[in-house]
């Protein structure tokens, strides 16, 4: 990811002249989103006028995969949180085949990969809760397969090192197969609560004495029916679950007192939201914990635009307020003409404001937000104010996500969104965004380099296949997660009766400098040639090879015996610095334990000069059963190239 100076621009707020409509309550306690009483026709669109101009920052976007790669997202799930003066997030990283934890840099320029793998499944959708120095993540795939099963992971923050680490004995399996509409909440008694849809029905679960033990899924008696979407939230000593129905326009909410019997849930009066039964819904929740005025907010996007008698000014996105023990009230956020989708709610308890963020148009475009007072809710008309504008780089952003935490002047508001067609994440920051503490201060050399690859293999299950690498061999080689000592994971490439090669595709780099660093350990001496690291394009450019334990490197087409003998069972670090303009490279071998430099060569010529583009990193074993090569701490960085 590139380190760039912060890009701060001033955007003109677009505020609708007029008043957002608070929709009247229907009979029997239902909040109705039809045309307000006394209005025979929907009002015309008010004209738009410029308003105040807040400062917005756009951290550097980065790729989660190739164009048209799919990022796992679901409305209402949170991937961001604020802790120790910095914003953090969990994002898909297709180059490593996993989902990793990132930290927003000081100055809001971009995100740094912390190398901590949160989930090794690229398809997993996740929701998370941060509280104090703890972070709990629920993740699952959407399909009825064992590989998609719901897991709970827990991480603890080290304030001295400013890093998170996975807690022992996690992840914990919760289900046997995948689930949908997964959300997570923590009640004030310390328990974690899960809500999800499985086989078309709601399931609720909660932790027991810790997140290592869970009660098991159950269905509240007030929701023993087919559902469309579901989300859970906590509010003081209560837990609230909201859901929609596939056959009617009702938005339902039920409350549970965590001090009472777990099978007792109290249903609120339903809110009627026209268009919920027309097709796929989207739902997200947030809470206002103001003493004496606790309430749940639910944002829903309907399929009113699919109704045969639709009008362009009919409600499409609605925010419904469910006060504890009172009737619900609905507020219009956007009409069909606005084409909003994926609404999420963020609460600024300090400023007493609610921000609702959504994409428009629904097929992908820009990310907009609207702000209203919590004490007098009324949203401006129109699409809202751009938070992450569409651009040539990411023209079709969608699926905005942020945090469950209450915002304040220190945190500001940070939102992430993804463009599947471009394979990119885009970001917007409104207000503070932290930016004062973002981890240990990087050195000047680190700041000058942009990481393309940073893989530690930590946090993955022992024996699990290493994802994201291409394997070649006959028979196919084994490349799995292994632990040699302690808890430090590595990747083990195992030899057989044929050559065994593992290659990692990296983004094309042309011009400037490229550094490849990789730690390797081999378990047996071999009189055949073993490749610890090989940088390739259309052919080999530079490599570190072993022949009978001796390091062999190239200078152009010439192979040079270095005289340095490496010992089986020890970790060594190979560093290759490539100059893509002069097609030369430097080589360094270090002993990993002591960091002692064992070999250093400079101004070596590339073996192949057909192309100046670097795009692959490989390791290879000769045909020798029992020979294993362990790889760890793989890092590729660029400087001054493109």
The C-alpha angle with vertex 107 and arms to 96 and 513, in degrees rounded to 5, equals 50
Distance, CA of 77 to CA of 565 (rounded, Å): 53
pLDDT for 437 beyond 60: no
Burial of 586 (0-12, 13-18, 19+ CB in 10 A): middle
What are the CA-CA distances from residue 473 to residues 174, 231, 500 (Å)? Answer: 37, 47, 5
Distance, CA of 204 to CA of 52 (rounded, Å): 44
- Under the banding of pLDDT at 50, 70 and 90, the label for residue 640 is low
- Under the banding of pLDDT at 50, 70 and 90, the label for residue 5 is very low
pLDDT of residue 292: 74
Exposure string for 596-630, b = 16+ CB within 10 A, e = fewer: eebbeeeebbbbbeebbebbbbbbbbbebeebbbb
- In this structure, of 115-124, 265-274, 369-378, 428-437, the range with the lowest mean pLDDT score is 428-437
Q: Is residue 397 within 8 Å of residue 388, measured between CB atoms? A: yes
Q: For strands 125-131 and 151-158, give the pairing.
A: unpaired
Burial of 134 (0-12, 13-18, 19+ CB in 10 A): middle
Q: For strands 513-522 and 500-510, give the pairing.
A: unpaired
**Average pLDDT for residues 549-556, to the nearest whole number?**
94
Distance, CA of 142 to CA of 133 (rounded, Å): 30
Distant-in-sequence, close-in-space partners of 549: CB < 8 Å, separation ≥ 6? 525, 526, 565, 566, 567, 568
Nearest to 110 by CA among 77, 87, 126, 130: 87
14-441: what fold?
A: Neuraminidase (2.120.10)
User: Could you tell me the pTM of the whole model?
Assistant: 0.63
Distance, CA of 378 to CA of 368 (rounded, Å): 16
Distant-in-sequence, close-in-space partners of 209: CB < 8 Å, separation ≥ 6? none
SS3 564: strand
CATH architecture of residue range(s) 448-639 = Sandwich (2.60)
pLDDT of residue 48: 26
Here the contacts of 151-154 (C-beta below 8 Å, separation 24 or greater) are: 151/119, 152/192, 152/207, 152/211, 152/214, 153/118, 153/119, 154/211
pLDDT for 49 beyond 60: no
What are the CA-CA distances from residue 38 to residues 24, 35, 42, 348 (Å)? Answer: 11, 9, 11, 34
Nearest to 106 by CA among 388, 444, 454, 441: 441
pLDDT of residue 65: 80
pLDDT for 117 beyond 90: yes
Based on DSSP, count helices (H) and strands (E) in the chain, helices before strands: 1, 49
Q: Is residue 535 within 8 Å of residue 617, measured between CB atoms? A: yes
The single-letter DSSP state of residue 260 is: S
pLDDT for 54 beyond 70: no
In tens, the pLDDT along 334-371 reads 999 999 999 999 999 889 999 999 999 988 999 999 99
User: Domain segments of the chain: what residues?
Assistant: 14-441, 448-639
What does residue 428 show for φ and ψ, rounded to 5 degrees?
A: -140, 140
In tens, the pLDDT along 458-504 reads 777 788 888 778 899 988 899 998 987 666 789 999 978 889 999 98
Q: How many C-beta atoms lie closer than 10 Å to residue 22's C-beta?
A: 17
pLDDT of residue 198: 95
Q: Is residue 318 within 8 Å of residue 33, measured between CB atoms? A: yes
Average pLDDT over the chain reads 85
Nearest to 96 by CA among 1, 25, 13, 191: 1
In tens, the pLDDT along 150-190 reads 999 999 999 999 999 999 999 999 999 999 999 999 999 99
């Amino acid at each position: 990811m590139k380190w760039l100076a912060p890009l701060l621009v001033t955007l003109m707020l677009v505020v609708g002249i007029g008043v957002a409509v608070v929709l009247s309550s229907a009979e029997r306690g239902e909040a109705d989103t039809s045309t307000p009483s006394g209005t025979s026709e929907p009002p015309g669109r008010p004209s738009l006028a410029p308003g105040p101009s807040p400062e917005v920052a756009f951290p550097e976007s980065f790729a989660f995969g190739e164009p048209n790669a799919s990022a796992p997202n679901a409305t209402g799930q949170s991937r961001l949180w604020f802790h120790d003066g910095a914003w953090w997030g969990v994002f898909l990283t297709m180059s490593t085949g996993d989902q990793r934890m990132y930290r927003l840099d000081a100055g809001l320029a971009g995100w740094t990969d912390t190398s901590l793998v949160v989930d090794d499944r690229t398809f997993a959708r996740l929701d998370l809760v941060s509280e104090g120095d703890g972070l709990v993540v629920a993740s699952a795939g959407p399909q009825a397969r064992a590989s998609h099963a719901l897991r709970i992971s827990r991480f603890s923050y080290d304030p001295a090192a400013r890093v998170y680490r996975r807690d022992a004995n996690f992840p914990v399996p919760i289900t046997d197969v995948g689930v949908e509409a997964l959300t997570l909440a923590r009640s004030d008694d310390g328990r974690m609560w899960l809500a999800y849809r499985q086989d078309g029905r709601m399931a609720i679960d909660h932790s027991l004495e810790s997140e290592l033990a869970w009660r098991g899924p159950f269905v509240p008696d007030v929701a023993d029916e087919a559902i469309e979407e579901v989300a859970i939230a906590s509010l003081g000593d209560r837990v609230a679950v909201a859901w929609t129905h596939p056959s009617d326009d009702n938005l339902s909410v039920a409350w549970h007192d965590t001090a009472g019997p777990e099978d007792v849930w109290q249903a609120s009066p339903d809110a009627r939201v026209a268009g919920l039964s027309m097709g796929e819904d989207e739902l997200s929740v947030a809470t206002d914990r103001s003493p004496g005025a606790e309430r749940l907010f639910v944002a829903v996007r309907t399929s009113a635009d699919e109704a045969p008698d639709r009008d362009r000014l009919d409600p499409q996105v609605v925010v419904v307020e469910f006060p504890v023990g009172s009737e619900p009230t609905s507020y219009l956020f956007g009409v069909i003409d606005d084409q909003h989708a994926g609404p999420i709610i963020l609460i600024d308890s300090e400023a007493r404001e609610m921000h609702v963020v959504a994409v428009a148009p629904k097929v992908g475009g820009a990310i907009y937000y609207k702000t209203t007072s919590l004490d007098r809710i009324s949203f401006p008309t129109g699409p809202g104010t751009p938070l992450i504008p569409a651009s040539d780089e990411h023209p079709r952003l969608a699926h905005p996500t942020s945090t469950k935490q209450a915002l304040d002047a220190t945190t500001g508001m940070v939102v992430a969104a993804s463009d599947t067609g471009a394979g990119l994440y885009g970001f917007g920051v409104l207000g503070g965004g932290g930016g004062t503490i973002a981890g240990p201060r990087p050195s000047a050399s680190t700041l000058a380099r942009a990481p393309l690859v940073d893989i530690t293999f930590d946090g993955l299950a022992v024996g699990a296949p290493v994802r994201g690498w291409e394997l070649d061999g006959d028979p196919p080689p084994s490349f799995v997660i292994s632990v040699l000592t302690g808890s430090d994971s590595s990747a083990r490439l195992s030899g057989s009766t044929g050559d065994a090669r593992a290659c990692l595709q990296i983004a094309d780099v042309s011009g400037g400098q490229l550094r490849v660093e990789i730690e390797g350990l081999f378990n047996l001496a071999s009189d055949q040639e073993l490749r610890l690291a090989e940088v390739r394009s259309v052919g080999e450019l530079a490599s570190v090879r072993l022949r009978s334990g001796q390091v062999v490197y190239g200078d152009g087409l010439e192979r040079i015996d270095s005289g340095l003998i490496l010992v089986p069972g020890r970790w060594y670090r190979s560093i290759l610095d490539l100059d893509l303009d002069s097609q030369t490279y430097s080589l360094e071998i270090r002993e990993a334990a002591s960091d002692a430099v064992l070999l250093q060569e400079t101004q070596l010529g590339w073996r192949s000069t057909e192309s100046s583009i670097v795009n692959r990193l490989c390791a290879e074993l000769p045909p020798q059963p029992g020979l294993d090569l362990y790889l760890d701490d793989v890092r590729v960085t660029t400087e001054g190239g493109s």
